[in-house]
Chains A and B, each alone.
Chain A
Amino acid sequence: MTVATRTIQVDILARVEGEGALTLVLDGDEVVEAKLKLFEPPRLFEAMMCGRACTEAPDITARICGICPVAYQMSSTHAVEDALGIRVDGALRELRRLLYCGEWIESHTLHMVMLHAPDFLGLPDAMALAKLHPERVRGSLRVKQAGNAIVAAVGGREIHPVNVKIGGFYRAPRRAELEALLPELRAARDEADAMIDWLATLAFPEFARDYELVSLRHATEYPMNEGRLVSTKGLDIDVREFGQHIEEHQVPYSTALHARIIGRGAYQAGPLARFVLNADRLTPRAAAAAARVGLDPSCRNPYRMILVRGVETLVAFDEAIRIIEGYAPPPAASVPVTMRAGVGHAVTEAPRGILYHRYEIDDAGIVRHAQIAPPTSQNQRGIEEDLLAMGPVLAGMPLDQATRRAEHAIRNYDPCISCSTHFLTLAFERRG
């Protein structure tokens, strides 16, 4: 095969967390391969966890991602508790959901307005956006601040909270501490409702694919910490069976492992998957907002995920307010923890999608094996397939425009690349 490759180095994928590059291989005008290279330096958390006490998992694995530390704390605690045979219920379970609501609000709002909305308007960043729409940006900062206030109240601080432990919390918040948040949360929820209507005025590129969408599904709730793992193509499993249905594999060009459903291939996790599979679990206000902006479970356009994040932000506000209004402090801040040997699994819904943790623990409570499958890593192959499908459009664009479009498409997934990218270098390789 004679292959004459032309490589054009371009700019950077900003407004994503981490570093990345994209190579599109063209044969004539046809894009035959898309390789999203994540070269975030590996930090080897799964290896670092070996030999550590299982009780250290929430504090250590939180450091995988400063944007979604609560997700790591929730998946790790639930997986360790699964191994130890511990069940956390009542007010402690509600406090965990409240903490997650805070992270969904701050992470989603950061992404919607500060990182992703500028793409739709051809702007470099939120500072430029603030010049055009100062009230929108200030309003969204108040929404984000409200999310951070929840995380700080329950977790102690916004980034890498200190209050989460195996069995519950170190200290349960007092009722007055949480009630003090209510006026700010109610005002921020109104801002968030208005934010969705503004986001709905953006121009969404036409694009759709026949995705296999994967998320948790819970008997009664919009899923966060619990549920079965389900998909739009018939997956319906206990999270403990994750490894029997989903495999991770390494590709030569990325430090993040790819994932696929055995026998079928790539899948997508994240807000669109959650919404499509759980639209009947939305709160009334969130369902009304979805209907208002024309979102329904038939949606397969990833560009519209920014609207889904808005809808989920409302779910998180409604749930946070409900939990606080009904909160009575638990009799103890945590349930007793006794060490025993075992294997534990958990999947929770990080803002970016399902986050799987699995730990093997010995009878002294020391971790002997750890597996962590972050959402961005699971979404990687699906993002490549999106870019492959956009190949003809991208190949017809000038390089700078193609780079911006590719970045915009990648950002649909809010990729957190320190968990598995900010710099995108786009290269076209031409086979002649």
Chain B
Amino acid sequence: MSAAPRPRPKLAVWKFASCDGCQLSLLDCEDELLAVAEAVDIASFAEATSHFEPGPYDLSLVEGSITTPHDAERIREIRAQSRTLITIGACATAGGIQALRNYRDHAQMMAMVYARPDYISTLATSTGIAQHVAVDFELRGCPIDKRQLLEVISAYLHGRKPNVQRHSTCIECKMRGTVCVMVAGGQPCLGPVTHAGCGALCPSYARGCFGCFGPSDAPQLAPLVERMVALGTTRPQVSRLLSTFNVTAFRGKDDRGD
């Protein structure tokens, strides 16, 4: 064979408004991290390295939501430099917990935290990346699951579709054989309407699902809400349960409003 070795694909990891937890998931792949670093050219990953290469990039992983005018510009530049762009986590996919501002008076919230809100340039909303640029794949979770992250990186590097289940957490829970916390325990649980990915972790710790992975494909929200209310959960509690890390995504599925 006289052909030159194929250059390693260039991977970039980008951060917007977030807690850094989803990109940390990559560093938390202790057993696989050095192998990933061999398989790809890590061209930009500020949490892990000072090394930086300009684009274009074969694969960009984007964490965090858009909350400033500067970031709204920056994501366009990153999209223009990226062959494939994947969002990682609830912030990048649905705006994250900081999207609670979308339903409140942002100026008032800024004034609660800062004596001089005028020093800081922010947007009144927190939005997912797909609201700004085309996204090739959205990996859910708050945080993402590291096994799913490795599957997605591997799939895109090999030019195939990622094998990521789209059913509900409830089904994962049944497959796991956990006793139902709602039927047997009367606890509120978002498992029936939440996207799979965590392996139905919370019910295995005797608590109801609180929706880290956002809505599943065809969530039947209204009947679940009525069932939770019948079991004694108050409507304000239900409203709060749906208003956390994926607040925009669950609101989009809930035509009753609040």
B205 pairs with A162, CB closer than 8 A: yes
Asked if A67 meets B24 with Cβ closer than 8 Å, knowing A42-B120, A125-B51, the reply is yes
Asked if B6 lies at the interface with its beta carbon under 8 angstroms from chain A, I say no
- Once A and B bind, how many residue pairs between them come within 8 Å at the CB atom? 185
1/0 per residue A1-15: CB within 8 Å of B? 000000000011111
CB distance from B24 to the nearest CB of A (A): 5
A44:B119 contact, CB within 8 angstroms: no
Interfacial chain B residues near A137, Cβ < 8 Å: 34
Stretch at the interface among B106-114, B131-139, B249-257: B106-114
Q: Tell which of B17, B25, B46 touches A43, judged by Cβ atoms closer than 8 Å.
A: B17
Instruction: Report chain B residues within 8 Å CB of A115.
Output: 48
Contact with A42, one of B20, B114, B212 (Cβ below 8 angstroms): B114
Determine the distance from Cα of A304 to Cα of B80 in the docked complex, in whole angstroms. 43
B116 with A252: CB separation less than 8 A: yes
Q: How far is the CB of B180 from chain A (nearest CB, A)?
A: 15
Contact among A40, A69, A142, A171 for B21, CB-based, below 8 A: A69
Using Cβ atoms and an 8 Å threshold, which residues of chain B touch A128? Answer: 51
Contact A41 B30 (CB under 8 A): no
Known: A43-B67, A47-B113, A67-B20. A156 touches B143 (CB 8 A): no
Which residue of the partner chain, among A130, A253, A422, contacts B34 with CB atoms under 8 Å? Answer: A130
Which chain A residue has the least Cβ–Cβ distance from B206? A171
Is the C-beta of B237 less than 8 angstroms from some C-beta in chain A?
A: yes
Q: Does A291 contact B (CB under 8 A)?
A: no
Choose among B46, B97, B119, B122 the residue that contacts A48 (Cβ–Cβ < 8 A). B97
Cβ-defined contact, B34 with A127, below 8 A: yes
Interface residues of B in 90-136 (CB under 8 A from A): 96-98, 100-101, 104, 108-110, 112-116, 119-120, 122, 126
Q: A127 to B39, alpha carbons, bound, how many Å?
A: 12
Q: Contacts A422-B15, A422-B46: A144 and B30 contacting too (C-beta < 8 A)?
A: yes
* Interface status of A88 (Cβ within 8 A of chain B): no
A41 touches B22 (CB 8 A): no
Q: Does A399 contact B (CB under 8 A)?
A: no
A67 CB to closest chain B CB, in angstroms?
6
- Whether B225 is near chain A, meaning CB under 8 Å from some CB there, is no
Q: Which residues of B contact A50 (CB under 8 A)?
A: 112
Q: Give chain B nearest CB distance to A128 CB in angstroms.
A: 8
Given A67-B24, A110-B27, A418-B18, A60–B244 Cβ distance below 8 Å?
yes
Tell me the bound Cα distance from A32 to B33 in angstroms. 43
List residues of B (209-258) whose CB comes within 8 Å of A's CBs: 210, 212, 237, 240, 244-245
> Of the candidates B101, B112, B114, B142, which one forms a contact with A63 in the assembled complex, judged by CB atoms under 8 Å apart?
B142
Q: Given the complex of chains A and B, what is the CA–CA distance between A162 and B245 in angstroms?
A: 14
Choice from B19, B33, B122 contacting A65 with Cβ under 8 Å: B19
B193 beta carbon closer than 8 Å to chain A: no
Number of B residues contacting the other chain (C-beta, 8 Å)?
A: 62
- Say yes or no: is A337 at the interface (Cβ < 8 Å to chain B): no
B49 pairs with A125, CB closer than 8 A: yes
Give the docked Cα–Cα distance between A64 and B71 (Å): 19
A19 to B16, alpha carbons, bound, how many Å? Answer: 9
Cβ of A66 and Cβ of B116 under 8 Å apart? no
| Cβ contacts under 8 Å, A53 to chain B | 237, 240
Q: Which residue of B lies closest to A165 (CB)?
A: B207
- Which of these, A59, A67, A252, A422, contacts B244 with CB under 8 Å? A59
Quick check: is A264 within 8 A (CB to CB) of the other chain? no
Contact check, B21 vs A44: say whether CB atoms are below 8 A apart. no
A124 partner, pick from B51, B126, B202, beta carbons under 8 A = B51
- Once A127-B34, A145-B30 are accepted as A-B contacts, the answer to whether A42 and B25 lie under 8 Å apart by CB is no
Query: CB-CB < 8 A to B202: which residues of A?
Result: 156, 162, 170
Closest beta carbon of chain B to A30's beta carbon, Å: 27
Contact for A141 among B33, B48, B143, CB less than 8 A: B33
Contact A18 B20 (CB under 8 A): yes
Q: Which residues of B contact A60 (CB under 8 A)?
A: 97, 244
**Contact status B30-A142, CB under 8 Å:** yes
* B contact residues around A69 at 8 Å (CB): 19, 21
Query: What 0/1 pattern do residues 129 to 155 of A give for CB contact below 8 A with B?
Result: 010000001100110110010000000
Say yes or no: is A267 at the interface (Cβ < 8 Å to chain B).
Answer: no
A46 contacts B by Cβ under 8 Å = yes
Residues of A within 8 A of B59 (CB): none
Least Cβ–Cβ distance between B250 and chain A, in angstroms: 15
B20 near A65 (CB under 8 angstroms)?
Answer: yes
Q: Which of A13, A137, A170 has the most CB of B within 10 A?
A: A170
Specify which chain B residues have a CB less than 8 angstroms from the CB of A423 in the assembled complex: 46
Q: Which residues of A contact B50 (CB under 8 A)?
A: 11-12, 14-15, 118, 124-125, 407
- List residues of chain A with CB under 8 Å of any chain B CB: 11-19, 40-44, 46-48, 50, 52-53, 56, 59-60, 63-67, 69, 110, 114-115, 118, 124-128, 130, 137-138, 141-142, 144-145, 148, 156-160, 162-163, 165, 169-171, 249-250, 252-253, 255, 257, 333, 407, 416, 418, 422-423
Binding site for A on B (CB under 8 A): 15-25, 27-28, 30-31, 33-34, 37, 42, 46-52, 67-68, 71, 96-98, 100-101, 104, 108-110, 112-116, 119-120, 122, 126, 142-143, 198, 201-202, 204-207, 210, 212, 237, 240, 244-245
